[in-house]
Amino acid sequence: MKSLIRKYTDALHVREKRLLYASVSSAAVKATTILSSILTLPFILSSIGSERYGMLLTITSMAALINFADLGLGFGLQNKIAHLAQKSKQELRKAISSTFAFLVCSSIAILLIFSLINNSILWGEVLHLKSKTAIDEANVSVWFFVICFTVSIPFSIVQKIQIGLQEGYYTNLWTICGNLFSLVFIYLCYEYIGSTPLFIIAIYGSNAFFILLNFIHQFIWKRPDISPQFRLADFSVVRSIISDSLSFFIVQLTGLLLFASNNMFLISYAGPEAVSDFNVGYKLALLFLIPLEASAPYLTPTVNEATLTGDYYWVNKIVVRTITLAVLLAFVSAALIYTLGNQLIHFWVGGDIVLSEKTLVSIAMFMLLYANMGCLVSYIMLSNTFIKYKVLLYTFSVGITIGIKYICIKNYGIPGAFWSTSVPMFLLYILPSLYLLKSKRVL
């Protein structure tokens, strides 16, 4: 078996090996994350009850907002890594130091702002809590979450650097260790002292701790030659990175609006039950996207490096292969969702939720037209050559799509939510992106 694996990997280009290692380890991350969620839910729920569990979910949902704190600067640095690594090790170290210093300042600013406004917030009322235990834990829980998350912001730069250097498998291995450590920590909390603040530390504190360990290992033992130094920080360097950073920030924001508009329109015109059913269907679709989500993010730095070295033949070959794979997965996932969707949902969440045939058809078409191809094309379009085009195409497409969503969801409910994503985004974003890739001889 080992000889067969070695024979296969020896035949691969070094970029393909790195992409394979990153993809396999990323799939393992997703597997441990899903396994951890499945195993820990009963422990957490039985330990703190539904009210405090709901509080935990609400508090941790703030992660989506805090994620915007770096304005996409981490991704901007990631996209510059290939160029800087070839140019000069000193230039690379200066860019890393400058970005790290900026993120440290961002984290400190978040903590200071939060400490100033926190005393005026009655979290028990904001979170609509009733029990005394939940109210007593609310403020501490929010504090622990904000601390864990903001501490991880500057140190998570190590993950962007590893991905930019096409060493994403190191990031994934540390993440797997964090997931397993979190699983043990949650079980110990369940056995001994079950409280919302401790469960937040077990989940998000474990993640922050292993990001810190990864940072220390990378810059003290593995690559001290590019470790960040505050004396090298130059905010003019940050300005040069901000171009790609803002592009990524805009893409993140428009993507968030695209998804949030579904829930907003559904709850207004179809009620909260429709929101619940839609999200179950959407999460079912995401399960089928795991193979692409595990590999597609690592295409961006790989394409950047290959383009920089002028290896357009390899770029063309890998893009054609991955798009062929995406098309195949689109047909398979669409067929499985249409034929087995409700059976899978019943196995997953029980028999309370049954999706109509119209909804299953709409989800199947979502997978066929947009989800798989959208995932792959988006990461290719995030590369240095195409990111400016992506911002224009994506923001324009999302703007039109949200307008269509308003009409479709108002008249057709959940099926309208899926159809109003699939068709407009396929016509306005996927097809023009493929044409652009073809015109640049990437496809």
The pLDDT mean for the chain works out to 87
pTM: 0.80
Of the chain, the percentage scoring pLDDT greater than 70 comes to 93
* 304: nearest Cα among 166, 183, 195, 167: 166
Q: What is the mean pLDDT of residues 157-186?
A: 92
Confidence tier at 48 by pLDDT (50, 70, 90): confident
C-alpha span between 208 and 156 (Å, rounded):
8
C-alpha span between 293 and 333 (Å, rounded):
14
C-alpha span between 271 and 274 (Å, rounded):
6
Q: What is the mean pLDDT of residues 426-432?
A: 96
Burial class from Cβ neighbours inside 10 Å (0-12, 13-18, 19+) for residue 364 reads: buried
Angle between helix axes 132-155 and 89-118 (nearest 10 degrees) is: 160
Instruction: Say what the pLDDT of residue 350 is.
Output: 67
User: Please, are residues 148 and 205 in contact by the beta-carbon 8 Å criterion?
Assistant: yes
Instruction: Say what the pLDDT of residue 214 is.
Output: 96
pLDDT at residue 201 greater than cutoff 80: yes
Tokens of 112: 């200071």
* 149: nearest Cα among 101, 113, 189, 107: 107
* Choice among 178-182, 246-250, 335-339 with the minimum mean pLDDT: 246-250
DSSP letter string, 25-93:
HHHHHHHHHHHHHHHHHHHHHHHHHHHHHHHHHHHHTTHHHHGGGGTTHHHHHHHHHHHHHHH-HHHHH
**Identity of the residue numbered 47:** S
Confidence tier at 5 by pLDDT (50, 70, 90): very low
* Choice among 62-66, 276-280, 385-389 with the minimum mean pLDDT: 62-66
Neighbours of 81 (CB within 10 A): 23
pLDDT at residue 442 greater than cutoff 90: no
Choice between 177 and 48, residue whose per-residue pLDDT is larger: 177
**Identity of the residue numbered 438:** K
Confidence tier at 66 by pLDDT (50, 70, 90): low
**Identity of the residue numbered 31:** A
**Identity of the residue numbered 394:** Y
* Choice among 85-89, 318-322, 409-413 with the minimum mean pLDDT: 85-89
- Give the total residue count for the chain: 443
Choice between 424 and 280, residue whose per-residue pLDDT is larger: 424
Q: What is the mean pLDDT of residues 27-40?
A: 81
Q: What is the mean pLDDT of residues 262-274?
A: 82
Instruction: Say what the pLDDT of residue 1 is.
Output: 47
pLDDT at residue 14 greater than cutoff 50: yes
Q: What is the mean pLDDT of residues 77-94?
A: 85
| pLDDT tens digits, 111-131 | 999 999 988 888 888 877 888
pLDDT at residue 97 greater than cutoff 80: yes
Q: What is the mean pLDDT of residues 294-300?
A: 86
* Choice among 35-44, 98-107, 304-313 with the minimum mean pLDDT: 35-44
Choice between 263 and 363, residue whose per-residue pLDDT is larger: 363
Instruction: Say what the pLDDT of residue 212 is.
Output: 95
Confidence tier at 286 by pLDDT (50, 70, 90): confident
Instruction: Say what the pLDDT of residue 8 is.
Output: 46
Q: What is the mean pLDDT of residues 101-119?
A: 90
Confidence tier at 79 by pLDDT (50, 70, 90): confident
Burial class from Cβ neighbours inside 10 Å (0-12, 13-18, 19+) for residue 196 reads: buried
